[in-house]
């Protein structure tokens, strides 16, 4: 992984990726390279295949054709936990936390593997100062320190999304993937979460799927536009926004989806 | 409830209590002292027998809850791990030369290892998935091994089972375990040790991840943990303690039969654990205590004890899914607010009639049972220290009137109890 050309190997490389469900092809040949330390947003209207692409990258679904490489290593056939150990961490579109545990325990669980505890049954988690302090540091970053001891399920929606991001980054993965982190949020909540994402993904590779271009405009270094399973444009946010093809396709499809 | 009840993380004491799960020793010391002095309070041999039975069930139920409560695995065949541990220990008892060199208090280690060995084999394939798949495999394996008991007679002893003699072991500081009370302290020692180890297990990384996998296996996988291996480790640990319980059973009863492996026993432990409450570590302990009392004390009073146990179970599942432990822990917020005393009078006003109503109902059940099943000509029955003729109308009228009146009173006082409950759980000044 840490070989000589580590600097030139993209963090994530997608090559000819295709996915069909039955006769319907949802992802129709995607090539994408995401460099290290880059914040890359994939945007597109509803039904464009954003979440499918996301699940293909994280090997939640097997791809019909093509491949995904993380730091130059093929991810085909790997289990989620193996991919996670290679340095990729993801969030879920539907909030996916451990709702019966406290907020603190949620974060502490996400630190365990990266701190080398593995399947240990001879350590007590409460005895580890690194775990407690590490978890509290994450909680401070995501501004949930005052919710520390509440069951995670009792948090507000926005707080749960923040916790989800906290869990995703806690393990120290260098590639962070967020699936519509601002879905279902008000404007002020969205601004808050975007700011939070900017803060916690400092010096990391971020891949983020988003419905609304406005949300990612100030955040992403690059934007790819996905329409009907194909990427129709990739580039700097200004270029993409000015691209007439994007405007047409994106607006057209968005209007269509509304009817 | 108007205000959410929160613990204040700024206060170190509360931070310890709710967050980092500091290990408080107090409950353990109290439990140890209780186990130490109980035989002085209940001196009868039958009481010791009941307490031994209770302790064995406590270990088994705690082991079972490592799967059900901590790991989210519903097993229908956990008796086999206890049973195999027990059978193995009886065989060790019968290996004269070997057993003569082993002090009896060490025997549960062997039982545990055999339970763990079987759990390692079965867990290797059964823990791949949780949910229905796991439940079905546990049922199948349970039935398979129970069926083996009549096939592999050399190990399981066929229908009459196998028996041994615990006193052939190496004397332990002069104690040969001839007396029930000596066995009591051996079992009490193992209850404390096993419960403490199982509690500590739940506080280790793999124990915490068992909870995480229970709540959300997919999320846990994206934290670097294989849900399957986390389940496997819980399963193996649970098998060990089930085996310990089996060894104690072997020591206490000196006989094991097919009954120790079969699905009835497996179902019973599910019932015990659920009754006590799967959500809290001490839940299964409560369940084991209550169930053993129902099974032993109540069964002396009525032939219908299993019926009442069944009703209790159904009522728990329907009305108190958190079990007895859940009901107790519901009161913690009110206690912290110092308002629990508000509940005392409303509770008495509602629950006392409810209790009388339930007793009235059970009286009717007993009378129906007597009316239908007593020997012909036997019209006399005794219930609640009263003897009467079950074939006359008056006792029936009395029972019905008492039952209806009691439930009516309960209903009348219910709103008061609900109001008191809300008041006790609300932060702020009482409404005068």
DSSP string, A191-237: HHHHHHHHHHTTTSEEEEEES-HHHHHTT-SEEEEEETTEEEEEE-H
Residues in chain A whose Cβ is within 8 Å of chain B: 58, 79-81, 84-85, 89-90, 92, 96-102, 104-105, 108-110, 112-114, 117-126, 132, 145-146, 148-150, 154, 167-168, 171
Q: Which residues of B touch A168 (CB under 8 A)?
A: 222
What is the per-residue pLDDT for B20? 37
CB contact under 8 Å between B18 and A114, yes or no, is no
pLDDT of A135-154, one tens digit each?
Answer: 999 999 999 999 999 999 99
- DSSP β-bridge partners for residue A39: A206
**Helices B205-215 and A103-112, packing angle to 10 deg:** 120
Tens-place pLDDT, residues B288-344: 999 999 888 888 888 888 888 889 899 998 988 889 999 888 888 888 888 888 888
* Sheet of A222-227, strands arranged across: A88-90, A175-179, A205-210, A39-43, A222-227, A230-235
Given this model, what pLDDT does residue B9 score? 41
A123 and B205: CB-CB below 8 Å?
Answer: yes
Could you tell me which residues come within 8 angstroms of residue B151 by beta carbon, excluding any fewer than 6 positions away?
Answer: none
Q: Give the pLDDT of residue B124.
A: 93
pLDDT digits (tens, 9 = 90+) for B93-131: 999 888 888 888 999 999 999 999 999 999 999 999 888
Residues of chain A contacting residue B223, judged by C-beta atoms under 8 Å apart: 81, 84, 89, 109-110, 112-113, 167, 171
**According to the model, what pLDDT value does residue A213 have?**
79
Q: What are phi and psi of B219, to 5 degrees?
A: -60, -40
Q: What is the chain B residue with the closest CA to A90?
A: B222
Instruction: Name the DSSP letter for residue B175.
Output: B
Buried b (16+ CB within 10 A) or exposed e, A4-41: eeeeebbbbbbeebbbeeeeeebbeebebebbbebbbb
Distance from the A67 Cα atom to the nearest Cα atom in chain B, whole angstroms: 20
Chain B CB contacts of A132 below 8 Å = 20
> Best mutation site among B71, B201, B204 for testing chain A: the one with the most A CBs within 10 Å?
B204
Contact residues, chain B, for A123 at CB < 8 Å: 204-205
Q: What is the band of A243 on the pLDDT scale with cuts at 50, 70, 90?
A: confident
Q: What are the residue ranges of helices labelled H in B42-78?
A: 45-65, 71
Residue B423 pLDDT exceeds 90? no
**What chain B residue is nearest to A82 in terms of C-alpha separation?**
B224
Helices (H), B157-226: 180-201, 205-215, 217-221
Cβ pairs A/B, distance under 8 A: 121
Which chain A residues are closer than 8 Å to B229 by Cβ? 119
Query: Any idea where the domains of chain B sit in the sequence?
Result: 12-330, 334-424
Q: How far is A133 from chain B (nearest CA, A)?
A: 11
Residue of B nearest to A147 (CA): B9
CB atoms within 10 A of CB B36: 12
- Of A93-102, B276-285, B360-369, B417-426, which one has max mean pLDDT? B276-285
Query: Which residue would you say has higher pLDDT here, B390 or B188?
Result: B188
CB contact under 8 A, A97 and B219: yes
Question: What CATH number does the domain located at B12-330 have?
Answer: 1.10.3470
Give residue A184's pLDDT.
Answer: 83
Encode burial over B163-200: b for 16+ CB neighbours within 10 A, e otherwise: ebebeebeeeeeeebeebebbbbbbbebbeebbeebbe
For residue B412, what pLDDT band results from cuts at 50, 70 and 90? confident
pLDDT over 50 (residue B167): yes
Per residue in B252-264, pLDDT tens? Answer: 999 999 889 989 9
Cα distance between residue B229 and residue A85, in whole Å: 15
**Within a 10 A sphere around the Cβ of A115, how many other Cβ atoms?**
16
Q: Please state, rounded to an integer, the average pLDDT across all residues of chain B.
A: 86
> Which positions in chain B touch A120 (Cβ < 8 Å)?
204-206
Q: What is the largest CA-CA distance in chain B?
A: 76
Question: Nearest-CA distance from A153 to chain B in Å?
Answer: 11
Instruction: Please tell me the predicted confidence (pLDDT) of residue A251.
Output: 63
pLDDT tens digits, A37-90: 999 999 988 788 888 998 898 888 888 999 999 999 999 889 999 999 999 999
What is residue B272's predicted lDDT score, i.e. its pLDDT? Answer: 93
Q: Taking 50 as the threshold, does the pLDDT of residue B376 lie above it?
A: yes
Spell out the alpha helix ranges (H) of chain A. Answer: 50-57, 80-85, 103-112, 129-141, 157-170, 187-200, 213-217, 237-242, 244-258
Contact A125 B203 (CB under 8 A): yes
Sign of the torsion formed by the C-alpha atoms of A167, A169, A170 and A173: positive
In whole angstroms, give the CA distance from residue B410 to residue B407.
5
In this predicted structure, what is the pLDDT of residue B418? 87
Strands A205-210 and A39-43: parallel
């Amino acid at each position: 992984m840490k070989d000589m050309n580590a600097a030139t190997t993209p963090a994530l490389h997608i090559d000819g990726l295709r996915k069909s469900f039955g006769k319907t092809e949802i992802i129709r040949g995607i090539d994408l390279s995401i460099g290290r330390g880059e914040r890359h947003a994939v945007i597109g209207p509803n039904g464009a295949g954003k979440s499918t692409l996301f699940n293909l990258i994280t090997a939640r679904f097997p791809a019909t054709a093509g491949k995904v490489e993380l730091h130059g290593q093929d991810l085909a056939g790997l289990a989620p936990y193996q991919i996670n150990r290679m340095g990729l961490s993801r969030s879920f579109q539907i909030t996916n936390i451990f709702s019966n545990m406290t907020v603190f325990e949620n974060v502490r669980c996400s630190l365990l593997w990266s701190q080398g505890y593995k399947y240990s049954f001879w350590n007590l988690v409460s005895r580890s100062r690194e775990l407690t302090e590490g978890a509290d540091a994450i909680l401070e970053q995501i501004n949930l320190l005052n919710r520390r001891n509440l069951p995670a399920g009792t948090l507000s929606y926005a707080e749960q999304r923040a916790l989800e991001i906290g869990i995703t980054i806690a393990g120290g993965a260098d590639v962070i993937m967020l699936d519509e982190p601002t879905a279902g949020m008000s404007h002020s909540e969205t601004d808050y979460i975007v700011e939070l994402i900017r803060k916690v993904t400092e010096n990391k590779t971020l891949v983020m799927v988003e419905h609304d271009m406005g949300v990612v405009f100030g955040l992403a270094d690059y934007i790819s536009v996905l329409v009907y399973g194909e990427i129709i444009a990739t580039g700097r946010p200004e270029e993409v926004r000015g691209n007439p093809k994007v405007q047409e396709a994106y607006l057209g499809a968005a209007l269509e989806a509304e009817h | 409830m108007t205000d959410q009840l929160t613990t204040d993380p700024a206060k170190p004491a509360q931070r310890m209590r709710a967050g980092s799960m500091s290990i408080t020793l107090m409950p353990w010391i109290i439990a140890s002292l209780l186990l130490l002095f109980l035989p002085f309070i209940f001196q009868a041999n039958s009481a010791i027998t009941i307490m031994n039975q209770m302790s064995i069930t406590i270990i088994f139920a705690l082991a079972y809850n490592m799967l059900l409560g901590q790991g989210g695995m519903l097993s229908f065949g956990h008796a086999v791990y206890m049973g195999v541990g027990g059978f193995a220990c009886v065989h060790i008892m019968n290996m004269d030369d070997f057993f003569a060199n082993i002090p009896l208090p060490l025997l549960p280690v062997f039982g545990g290892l055999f339970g763990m060995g079987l759990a390692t084999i079965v867990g290797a394939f059964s823990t791949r998935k949780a949910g229905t798949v796991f439940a079905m495999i546990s049922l199948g394996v349970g039935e398979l091994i129970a069926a083996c008991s009549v096939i592999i007679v050399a190990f399981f002893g066929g229908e009459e089972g196998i028996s041994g003699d615990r006193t052939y072991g190496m004397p332990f500081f002069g104690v040969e375990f001839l007396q029930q009370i000596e066995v009591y302290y051996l079992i009490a020692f193992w209850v404390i040790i096993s419960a403490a180890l199982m509690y500590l297990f739940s506080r280790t990384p793999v124990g915490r991840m068992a909870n995480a996998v229970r709540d959300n296996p997919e999320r846990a996988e994206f934290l670097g943990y294989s849900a399957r291996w986390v389940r496997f480790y819980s399963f193996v640990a649970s098998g060990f303690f089930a085996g310990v319980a089996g060894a104690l059973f072997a020591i206490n009863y000196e006989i094991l039969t097919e009954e120790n492996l079969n699905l009835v026993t497996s179902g019973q432990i599910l019932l015990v654990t659920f009754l006590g409450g799967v959500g809290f570590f001490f839940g299964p302990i409560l369940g084991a205590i209550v169930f053993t009392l129902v099974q032993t004390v109540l069964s002396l009073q009525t032939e219908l004890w299993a019926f009442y146990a069944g009703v209790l179970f159904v009522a728990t599942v329907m009305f108190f899914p958190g079990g007895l432990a859940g009901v107790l822990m519901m009161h913690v917020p009110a206690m912290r607010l110092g308002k629990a005393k508000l509940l005392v009078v409303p509770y008495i006003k509602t629950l006392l009639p409810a209790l009388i109503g339930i007793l009235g109902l059970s009286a009717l059940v007993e009378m129906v049972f007597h009316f239908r099943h007593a020997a012909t000509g036997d019209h006399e029955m005794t219930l609640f220290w009263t003897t009467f003729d079950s074939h006359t109308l008056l006792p029936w009228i009395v029972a019905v009137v008492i039952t209806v009146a009691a439930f009516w009173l309960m209903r009348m006082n219910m709103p008061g109890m609900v109001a008191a409950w809300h008041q006790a759980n609300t932060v702020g000044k009482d409404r005068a």
